[in-house]
Amino acid sequence: RERDQAQRRIDMERSAIRHALGDEHENVRSYLYDEWDYINSQYLRGWCRVYEEQLQDDHTGDGIELLQTLRPLVQGIRKRFEQIRPSGYQRVNKVTDGDELYLSAVVDVRADLRVGSSPDERVYSRRERQKRDVGAAFLVDLSASTDDPIDQLPVGAATTTNSDTPSALNLRDPYPDDDDEFTFDLESRREAEDAKRKIIDIQKEAVVLMASAMEGLGDQYGVYGFSGYGHDCVEFYIAKEFKQALDSRALDAIAAMTPKRSTRMGPAIRHAAAKLAASGTALKVLMIISDGFPQDCDYGPDRGNHEYGVQDTAKALREAEQRGVKTFCITVDRSGHDYLRRMCPEEHYMVIEETEGLPSALQKAYRRLTHL
């Protein structure tokens, strides 16, 4: 652990040197975003620079190995997600070809002919299978604190603290008694691991399980991570884009997610929301997975005061909602209520008491947000 912390400090120092010399982030795209300065009630225009880069795993096959480890859980999750997939038909009116005439359109045609106007040829209706038109972005906090180990979970201990949200039960039982219980058996995996599991491990497992479930659902989705150090060095990592297949490269990219630096949430949320807005889907969902409050070296005048970061993140979430993006924050920080209630409405966040409740909580929240 001390070695990991030392390596992160070295990486940060190297990054600062490269940035000062102007050769950092070569061959990647960058974007400028405003930041909300709540102290002066104004935007800092173009204050944050977001660097977008592809995550790559030096160890090809890590993603497939992770998926194989979770394989026993995937089938059950997919079955639950199939319950929110439309199975019926709906009648679509005013089409050029169909099995029935649409009476209202026929009346309009006759009226147009009487006055000498060109009639609309869409006078039919037909039955079409209902389809979901959903785009989702999963934004994973890759701050240094996700390197922290998690405590072993006593059987039946994990719950969520939202009273109106179903409990996120323990992950050891792979055979739930009813649809509300997402329980998983990860005990065999723990016994095979030498090192203590970390927050980042649970985050990656949760994302892989979600991705596997959504492959069967047919929703478009992207998987991203974020970190950085300073307002002009916000890092936005791509593991999977919306229309990219969940192939070995995407899985390896998810497996390559590692703890990095700080947590400047505002610009990362703005960039993810921009990607969703460009997706063209009817329903857009942004889910932020974090382990703590927004924090960065210059996120406000005083690094020890987190209110500036909280207010900028709250503003970014409201901006996303105004663009038609549903937002939802999930944190494994037990003190999350203290700042999340200032960032978003209570129904837009969930605090997980036990880190290992994250996979089940993520799935339940997504089902609730997209159950059309």
Of the candidates 135, 361, 137, the residue with the CA atom closest to the CA atom of residue 268: 137
Task: State the Cα–Cα distance between residues 159 and 171, nearest whole angstrom.
Answer: 11
Topology, domain 2-84+131-370: Rossmann fold (3.40.50)
User: What per-residue string of b and e applies to 166-180 under the rule 16 or more CB within 10 Å gives b?
Assistant: bbbbbbbeeeeeeee
Q: What is the pLDDT of residue 171?
A: 28
Q: What is the pLDDT of residue 47?
A: 97
Of the candidates 197, 213, 236, the residue with the CA atom closest to the CA atom of residue 360: 213
* Token couple for 208: 């892989």
The pLDDT tens digits of the residues spanning 29-84 come to 999 999 999 999 999 999 999 999 999 866 666 888 888 888 778 777 887 787 77
Q: Fill in the amino acid letter for 348.
A: H
Domain borders along the chain are 2-84+131-370, 90-129
Q: What is the pLDDT of residue 154?
A: 33
Give Cα separations from 236 to 46, 141, 257 (angstroms): 16, 10, 11
Among the residue ranges 14-23, 54-63, 129-138, 251-260, the one predicted with the least confidence is: 14-23
Of the candidates 148, 171, 140, the residue with the CA atom closest to the CA atom of residue 238: 140
pTM, 2 dp: 0.74
Q: What is the pLDDT of residue 5?
A: 57
Question: At 245, which helix (H) or strand (E)?
Answer: none
Inform me whether the pLDDT recorded for 169 exceeds 60. Answer: no
User: Facing residues of 95 across strands?
Assistant: 124
The pLDDT tens digits of the residues spanning 106-153 come to 888 888 888 888 889 898 887 665 678 899 999 999 999 999 987 643
DSSP state of 352: B
Task: Using only the alpha carbons of the chain, give its radius of gyration.
Answer: 23
Give the pairing of strands 283-290 and 134-141: parallel
Give the pairing of strands 134-141 and 234-240: unpaired
Task: State the Cα–Cα distance between residues 258 and 141, nearest whole angstrom.
Answer: 10
Distance spanning both ends of the chain, measured CA to CA: 45
The pLDDT tens digits of the residues spanning 301-355 come to 887 789 999 999 999 999 999 999 999 999 988 888 889 999 999 999 999 877 7
Give Cα separations from 334 to 161, 268, 317, 338, 344 (angstroms): 9, 23, 21, 9, 17
